[in-house]
Amino acid sequence: TKARDVVPTWLQVRNMVNDISAQFPQGVQGPFFNDRFGDVYGNIYAFTADGLTPRQLRDYVEDVRTKILTVPNTGKVDLVGAQDEAIYLEFSTRQIAALGLNQQAIVASLQAQNAITPSGVIQSGPERISVRVSGQFTSEESLRAINLRVNDRFFRLSDVATITRGYADPPTALFRFNGQDAIGLAIGMKPNANLLEFGEALHEEMNKVLADLPVGVGVHLVADQPVIVEEAVSGFTRALFEAVAIVLAVSFISLGMRAGFVVALSIPLVLAITFTVMAYLGISLQRISLGALIISLGLLVDDAMIAVEMMVARLEVGDNLRKAATYVYTSTAFPMLTGTLVTVAGFIPIGLNNSAAGEYTFTLFVVIAVSLLVSWIVAVLFAPLLGVTILPATMKQHHEKPGRFTALFRRVLVGSVRHHWLTIIATVLLFAASLAGFGLVQQQFFPPSDRPELIVDWNLPQNSSIAETRDQMERFEQRALVGNPDIDHFSSYIGQGAVRFVLAYDVQPANPYFGQTVIVTKSIEARNRVKPALEKLLRDEFVGTDAFVKLLELGPPVGRPVQYRVGGPDVQTVRTLAQEFAGIISANPQLAAPTFDWNEPERVLRVDVLQDKARQLGITSSDIASALNSTVGGSTITQVRDATYLINVVARSREAERGSIGTLQNMQLPTGTGEAIPLAAVANFRYELEQPT
């Protein structure tokens, strides 16, 4: 999708989904849209704390975020790995059943007290006085002090529930830096802003922020895209100037000072016009456009050199400057235009490629086409004008007699024309040899990035918890990364993928069994040493875990270099075929152990509701599902407002009961008559395997 089509496409998707949302089953949440998926966070900072709680550290990071938003051209600023606080009401199902209480009734009573509802406005003369009703919860202490009336009985909430304040359990995502728990601050830039200027302003603001932070709060730079861009552009610019210097030197040596000076003046003129057209088309100086300039530099001087050499040749045979300049246009303008158009045509497939790769490299075609066409215009119009001004009025022939090279060339030319069949055969053979030689050339459209980062993708089995993902990634950090002299720093994203710190980064969806480690080595040589060592360690010590070490990619993300899609009539057949195919390709020594992007079936506990019996008691499947969700995972029943945070109040069973099937079987369900019965009376339990989505 082209950049200009992204916003209209999202709008169309939203409209289409809204049109069919009425057809979704009752109870479906969403769908939810992330139309800012392509946002790039070029600067990432990690905040660590020594002796502070996660909430205290988050308060400092939120304060820094507020200050960063004041920097000109700042876009989105998001926190990474911040742990949300939660207040847990942990009930004992056995105790509630023994007291004859109903957990749903307790929850309803709490929600009614904490609800924010309009209380009216008093009109008193010229004033309007709003009415406010108290009772909302302000902390976990206000919850502990609540006296509830359920079924004409009074009791304190703390008598039937353990009330604790902590953090989301299990967490949805975690962030670590250099082996420490941390909170990340990902900073984006507004569109069309200057990244280098934004980077300078951001660094200046961060220096002020660092001076105000207390002792114990550490701030670490995880990613700094402005510095990377400045280095990359400087490298390409340096290569461009080197190419210009080489071309100028060759021009002066081969053509002489005056003729070489004409070519020397043509080059900056062509570049100046090309830069003007690029600015008009909105093409900035980036990796692709600078590469296109370097490619075209060797071509754009050809036309000017041809024009100057033609003028010199005509002056040597006795023409005056005006006649020599006119001859250049009449005899070479259209042949040079034909050659220029043929060269430009070679890049048309890139310009017309309607794909992600085509969009990424489109400026290659545009810049080459513009620069070559401009060079032709300069060669046929400005170069003769410069020649009339700079070249002498008359010139002697450089050689009265043909030189050795000219004489040799003439003999070869005459012989080739005389034996034309041999010339044709030799040409065909050389062409065939060139085609065969292409097989020896490495074929790679987008080479790996020359940046020092390594990315490790972690894919654990489908049923793995985020705690298991964290344990394995922490063990990897200690075994391979901490103290490694080739590594500058590293960061770990647990339960989610890394944020998009470069445009071409392949962001992965959040999952408890997924994580990514971003490793920044000290050099390219260090990166090349670390990568095979990590692959061997992961292969030997993390058996059963799909951990893939990869480099950043320059072009559109591809992922694993060899990928196959296996199809079939049903799920089991597809899995069987995939296993057989994996066994076949595993015999190739150049391929590592194959993996599957469709994970293994996950184990689920199926609750089969006896519908007739449940219906007689006034119990529905929805009631049972809600009760199970509250018991096992916990359900948010209300919220406590604490400063700028909304803290969820979560009702769930106690830890010893949450993982017990016996607890679920004995879970009390209210019936239509007001009595409670165990879940086992209206449902059967069994395990089964379910295909992953």
Could you tell me if 222 and 44 are in contact, meaning their C-beta atoms sit under 8 angstroms apart? yes
- The model's confidence at residue 401, banded by pLDDT at 50, 70 and 90, is low
- Helix (H/G/I), strand (E/B), else coil: 167: strand
pLDDT surpasses 90 at 662: no
pLDDT of res. 403: 61
- Joined tokens for residue 264: 């020397």
Q: Within 10 A of 230 (CB to CB), how many other CB atoms are there?
A: 14
- Joined tokens for residue 122: 């008093």
CATH number of 453-559: 3.30.70.1430
> Residue 420 contacts by C-beta under 8 Å, 6 or more apart in sequence?
none
Where are the CATH 3.30.2090.10 domain residues in the chain? 85-119+133-167+601-690
**Least confident interval from 26-30, 348-352, 377-381:** 26-30
Which residue intervals of 256-379 are DSSP H helices?
A: 257-281, 287-316, 321-345, 348-351, 356-377
Q: pLDDT above 90 covers what percent of the chain?
A: 24
What integer is the mean pLDDT of 146-172?
83
Could you tell me if 93 and 653 are in contact, meaning their C-beta atoms sit under 8 angstroms apart? yes
Where are the CATH 3.30.70.1430 domain residues in the chain? 453-559
- Joined tokens for residue 364: 């290659």
- Cα separation, 383 vs 380, in Å, equals 6
> Kind and range of the H or E element at 554?
none
Distance, C-alpha 415 to centroid of its chain: 61
> Which one, of 241, 205, 177, lies nearest residue 71 by Cα?
205
Q: pLDDT above 70 covers what percent of the chain?
A: 97
Q: Give tens-digit pLDDT for 467-485.
A: 999 999 999 999 999 989 9
What integer is the mean pLDDT of 54-66?
92
What integer is the mean pLDDT of 22-34?
80
DSSP string, 422-461: HHHHHHHHHHHHHHHHGGGS---SSPBP-SSEEEEEEE--
Could you please state the CATH topology (level 3) that the domain comprising 85-119+133-167+601-690 is classified under. 3.30.2090
Which residues partner with 79 through β-bridges? 185
Q: Give tens-digit pLDDT for 590-601.
A: 887 788 887 778
pTM of the full predicted structure? Answer: 0.82
pLDDT surpasses 60 at 315: yes
Residue 31: cis peptide before it, omega within 30 degrees of 0: yes
pLDDT of res. 243: 74
pLDDT surpasses 60 at 140: yes
What integer is the mean pLDDT of 425-446?
85
Determine the angle formed by the axes of helices 195-212 and 54-68, rounding to 10 degrees.
140
Residues across the chain: 693
Where are the CATH 1.20.1640.10 domain residues in the chain? 256-398
- Helix (H/G/I), strand (E/B), else coil: 631: helix
> Kind and range of the H or E element at 570?
none
In one-letter notation, the amino acid at residue 119 is S
Q: Within 10 A of 2 (CB to CB), how many other CB atoms are there?
A: 11
* Angle in degrees, CA 614, 615, 617, rounded to 5: 65
Is domain 256-398 annotated with CATH 2.40.420.20?
no
What integer is the mean pLDDT of 123-132?
84
**Least confident interval from 27-31, 517-521, 609-613:** 27-31
